Amino acid sequence: MSSAVETLPILLVPDPKLRAKARPVGGGDADAVRALAPRMLDAMYKAPGIGLAAPQVGELLRLIVVDLQPEDKPAPLVLVNPEILAASTELATREEGCLSLPGQYAEVTRPARVKLRYLDLEGAKREIEAEGLLATCLQHEVDHLNGVLFVDHLSALKRNMLLRKLAKDLKGRRD
Ligand SMILES: [Zn+2]
């Protein structure tokens, strides 16, 4: 079935909404969030990407979607008001990219394992323990809710190089 709903555009750096702190989802947001989550998943799959946070589509709400598509099958995770409860002292370094900084990649070091608490779309309290790529992805998306981008974990020199390259690439796209 085709949908009349347009794909949500993903905001790019330096959009100021990507630097704002998102507010918690409250009871009054339930309908909006239930409508927004599938549209975020749709935009993420089309990009394509493995994670997307609501501020990246201009909604300053604490909502993220993730899908690593294990075995090439969709396995969407929707996390409302996610909170990192615990992080391992052991660190892991992994190459990261971001749909809001298209074409830019860098190695980022973060805790190797994390435990999160969140609400699902029905409002039920849930917890998830993650390692590997999922741990990286969840931390990257929760960062977005606080206006933090993966480049903020790099040295100022590397960050500025990458942001300059992004600006140049985006200008090239427009010209
Ligand atoms: Zn991102």
**Sequential DSSP letters for 7-19:** PPPPP-TT-GGGG
Q: Is 153 a known ligand-binding residue? A: no
Upstream peptide bond of 48 is cis (omega within 30 degrees of 0):
yes
| Ligand 1 centroid to residue 102 C-alpha, Å | 10
Q: Does residue 141 have an active-site annotation?
A: yes
* Protein residues near ligand 1, an ion, with CB under 5 A: 98
The helix/strand/coil state of 94 is strand
**CA neighbours closer than 13 Å in the CB half-sphere of residue 55:** 27
Give the pLDDT confidence score for residue 38 in this predicted structure.
97
pTM of the model: 0.95
| Ligand 1 centroid to residue 125 C-alpha, Å | 25
User: Cα 41 to the chain's mean position, in Å?
Assistant: 11
| Parts of the chain with a pLDDT under 70 | 1-4
Give the pLDDT confidence score for residue 4 in this predicted structure.
61
| Ligand 1 centroid to residue 154 C-alpha, Å | 14
Q: Is 144 a known ligand-binding residue? A: yes
Q: Is 137 a known ligand-binding residue? A: no
| Ligand 1 centroid to residue 44 C-alpha, Å | 11
CA distance 71 to 135: 18
| Residue type, position 56, single letter | Q
Annotated catalytic residue: which of 59, 107, 131, 141?
Answer: 141
Structural domains of the chain in order of their starting residue, each with its CATH number: 16-174 (3.90.45.10)
